[in-house]
Every structure is written in structure tokens, then in C-alpha cells.
């Protein structure tokens, strides 16, 4: 894969300073890029590497251009431009149409002839797989599942019955979609838990990406819904009847309890957790490790909770003081009254 800098400028809408015919064969970091590669400066803490990088070109903002000692591709958002260029340098996964001899496909399943069904896949009765989709080795597709065109399921994805997945969606290995949520009712007469059968399903929109070992539970009565262009990282737990708005991104190890509703264009940091039955408005950012226990009704804003890492001794002293906060507050109120 070889492009001129002028070709890359067309892909990104950037302007060129230097040799427009410079040949680029890959992308690297500022620290490690070699001649023939393009790199980028998105975070100012890496400016110190601009003078020493061996890259043949740098994707850069106009305000950093004076620090650039080589060819430059000038854009407003270097990170977005870098993301765009990865599509042009990444190896393309070729579709080899056909069904592997070891795959088990129900007679009434509808698999488009352009699909690639790899080894040991199982596809249940009534399932529909759209054109140009790839179903990786060992995937299990349940009864009545609908998967749109150009979808990519990596090996060992499990899709439970009746789940709907949109076009161009990507599911990474180990993802499980449509399993029962954690639903039980305690029967005081029998002194035992009664399982609640989940009668809904999961509806996933177009252009959604789901990371490895992420679980998305089906709804109890209504459906769990993941709207278009949602991006979900690895090891995320999405409980029954959750609704996630379009273009929201969710980093790894997030847990979202049942019936929570997340708005559009939200950004959720790793390890954050959400209580059930709350609503998060559009365009909200949740910092990693935050614990969200109530609804956030106002669109926009950045929210965080918890404390950052500190020396163990300091942490122990602070915990000891925290235990006396209520006592201290009462003393303050008493003094205020006096």
C-alpha cells in the first residue's frame, strides 16, 4: 500500500506543506515512525518528539506547523485524520463466499450467496444473514436472528434467538448478545428466587461495533436497544432493557444496570457504572471509574466521582477522617445555631 502525500490530503481534506509527491507506505508513532511512514501530533505532550521523528510526513494542526521539520499534512483535527488514514493502510479482510463443510445451517435459514460462513458455525432455523457478511469460525447464530448486510462477526460470537443486528456492524470474539438478564423475584412463601423469563430481545442498529467478551442482555418485556453508530469496548456489561442512543461510545469494563437509558453522543470512560432505571441526557461525558446513581437530565457537561490514586498512608488518614464527617457536620450545625 503506497500513497503520495497529495492522495492522503484528498482522503483527509488537509493542506500540504513540503513535497506533495512524497511516498507514504504506512503509519507510525512520532517516536517509532521510520522513513516512508506518516505520523501525527494529536496530544501536545508529544511535541518534544517533533524534532527527532524519522517520519516522512506529519499530520499536524496549523498552530504546531512552525515546529514541524519535515513534510506536513495540515488539518484541524489530526487524530480524526489519523483515524481516516488507518482505513487506507489496514489489510482488507477478503470475503470468500460460501459455507464451510463443517458449518451447520438450518434448512429454512436464509444466507445470502455472497456471505462467508466459516468452520463450525451454527445457524438456527429462520435466521437471515445479509449480503457480504462474514460469520467467523465457531459462531453460534440462534433461531430467527436477523443480521444485516456487510456485517462482520469474529470467531466465537454467540447471538441468542431473535436478536436483530444492523448493517456493517462488527462484533468481536467472545461477544454474547441476547442472553437473559439478571432477573429474579423473591418468593417469600417458598423462601426462594424465581427466575423471570425474558420475553424481549436485542435490537442493534447499523454501523455498531461491539468489543470482545462484551455481554448485552435481552429485554424482559420490551427490547434492549443499541442505536446506530454506537461503539462499545471490550468487557462491557449491558443489562436488560437498556437503551443506548446513537453515536455514544463506551470504554472497557463499564457496567450498565437494567432499564437505564443513555442519550446520544455520550462518552463513557472505562470502569464507569450506572444504576438501573436512570436516564442520561445527550452529549454527556462520564469520566472513567465514575459511579452514576441518579439521572442527568441536562444535555452536555462532564461528570466524575470517586477519588484519584494517592499514597496508602494518606488514603488511610483520609478514610479515618471521612468516618467523622457526620459528627463534624453536627457540631458545625450546633455552633451555627449558637
Residues 6+ apart with CB under 8 A from 38: 5, 8, 24, 26, 27, 28, 55, 56, 57, 58, 59, 73, 85
| 24, β-bridge pairs | 3
37 contacts 26 by C-beta, under 8 angstroms: yes
Give the CA-trace dihedral at 36, 37, 41, 42, to 10 degrees: 160
156 contacts 173 by C-beta, under 8 angstroms: yes
112: number of Cβ within 10 Å: 14
Burial classification of residue 20, based on how many CB atoms lie within 10 Å of its CB (0-12 exposed, 13-18 middle, 19 or more buried): middle
40 contacts 89 by C-beta, under 8 angstroms: no
240 is a catalytic site residue: yes
User: Looking at 87, 240, 243, 311, which residue is catalytic?
Assistant: 240
Catalytic residues: 240
Amino acid at each position: 500500500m503506497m500513497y503520495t502525500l497529495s492522495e492522503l490530503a484528498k482522503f483527509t481534506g488537509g493542506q500540504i506543506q513540503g513535497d506533495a509527491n512524497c511516498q507514504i507506505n504506512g503509519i507510525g508513532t512520532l517516536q517509532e515512525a521510520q522513513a516512508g511512514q506518516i505520523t501525527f501530533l494529536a496530544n501536545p505532550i508529544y511535541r518534544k518528539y517533533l524534532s527527532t521523528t524519522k517520519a516522512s510526513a506529519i499530520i499536524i494542526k496549523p498552530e504546531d506547523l512552525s515546529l514541524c521539520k519535515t513534510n506536513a499534512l495540515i488539518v484541524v483535527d489530526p487524530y480524526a485524520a489519523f483515524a481516516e488514514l488507518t482505513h487506507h493502510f489496514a489489510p482488507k479482510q477478503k470475503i470468500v463466499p460460501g459455507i464451510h463443510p463443517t458449518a451447520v445451517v438450518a434448512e429454512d435459514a436464509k444466507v445470502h450467496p455472497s456471505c462467508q460462513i466459516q468452520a463450525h458455525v451454527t445457524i438456527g432455523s429462520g435466521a437471515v444473514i445479509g449480503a457480504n457478511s462474514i460469520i467467523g469460525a465457531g459462531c453460534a447464530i440462534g433461531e430467527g436472528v436477523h443480521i444485516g448486510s456487510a456485517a462482520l462477526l469474529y470467531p466465537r460470537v454467540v447471538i441468542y434467538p431473535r436478536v436483530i443486528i444492523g448493517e456493517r456492524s462488527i462484533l468481536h470474539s467472545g461477544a454474547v448478545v441476547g442472553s437473559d438478564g439478571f432477573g429474579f423475584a423473591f418468593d417469600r412463601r417458598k423462601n426462594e428466587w424465581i427466575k423471570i423469563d425474558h420475553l424481549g430481545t436485542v435490537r442493534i442498529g447499523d454501523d455498531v461495533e461491539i468489543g470482545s467478551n462484551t455481554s448485552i442482555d435481552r429485554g424482559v418485556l420490551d427490547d434492549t436497544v443499541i442505536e446506530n453508530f454506537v461503539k462499545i469496548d471490550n468487557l462491557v456489561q449491558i443489562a436488560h432493557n437498556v437503551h443506548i442512543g446513537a453515536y455514544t461510545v463506551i470504554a472497557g469494563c463499564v457496567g450498565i444496570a437494567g432499564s437505564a437509558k443513555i442519550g446520544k453522543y455520550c462518552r463513557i470512560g472505562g470502569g464507569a457504572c450506572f444504576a438501573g432505571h436512570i436516564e442520561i441526557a445527550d452529549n454527556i461525558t462520564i469520566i472513567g471509574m465514575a459511579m452514576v446513581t441518579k439521572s442527568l437530565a441536562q444535555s452536555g457537561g462532564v461528570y466524575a466521582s470517586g477519588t484519584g490514586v494517592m499514597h496508602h498512608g494518606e488514603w488511610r488518614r483520609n478514610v479515618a477522617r471521612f468516618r467523622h464527617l457526620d459528627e463534624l457536620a453536627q457540631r458545625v450545625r450546633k455552633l451555627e445555631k449558637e
